[in-house]
Amino acid sequence: MIRSLKYRIALTVFLLEAVMVAVVLWRYQLVSVNAIREQMDATDLVVLEMLEEISRYAIINEGYDELQPYVEKIRMDPHILRVLVADYRTQVVVSTDYALLGQLLPQLVDGPQRYWRTRELTNASGRVGTLAIEFSSSGLARAYHEAQMQGLVIAGTSMLIIAVVGMGIGFLLTRRLGILDTATRRFAQGDFDVRVSLKGGDETVREVLDPGTARKEALKEK
């Protein structure tokens, strides 16, 4: 059990500020991750729309040989894992995975840190094929980890500053109370000439020093 008043004051200040810092950091991480997720979604949409037009044109005109090297270059983006283009029979005609060429479009299942986005390729006569892109979400996980580590650094620094400030507040307050306690003891022992020198106009001086001075003057007159 903590008996020292200054340590209890420091602990109280530390706990209150710790709660505030935790709330701020939680909000900061939430906003940061959401902003990154929105940016990734916008990037996914741009890639889908761009490949949708090119893939539709390639299927209609059977220009698979021209589309294949293009999707291979797209695959160089670490955010894109696989690109599959299937015709109206769901047969894969363009793929970054050569083993799937000529095969039926496989079942698209999301996995850890990866997910699929698909678009139906259509023209005036109806559906002509399917575009499927597998994206990586490792960037989001990495961004969350970085935000978490940055938050821990900020929290650690803030806690250290708060602890020092709390100790300082506790020391200053207990020092003033210690001076008053010493003067009160001497006064109780009959030393009516004791003087208390405290600067400031806070409650310590107004509520303790002023009434004490008045009582001392009254006793000296008796």
pLDDT tier, 210 (very low <50, low <70, confident <90, very high otherwise): very low
Percent of the chain exceeding pLDDT 90 equals 23
What does the pLDDT read at residue 93?
Answer: 94
pTM of the model: 0.57
Q: pLDDT tens-digit profile of 112-163? A: 888 999 999 998 889 999 999 999 887 666 766 776 777 777 777 877 777 7
Burial zone of 51 (CB within 10 Å; 0-12 exposed, 13-18 middle, 19+ buried): buried
Q: pLDDT tens-digit profile of 98-113? A: 999 999 999 999 988 8
CA-nearest of 153, 190, 131, 150 to 31 is 150
Domains in the chain (CATH in brackets) are: 5-141 (3.30.450.20)
Beta strands in 74-217 (DSSP E): 80-87, 92-95, 114-123, 126-136
Give mean pLDDT, residues 171-189: 70
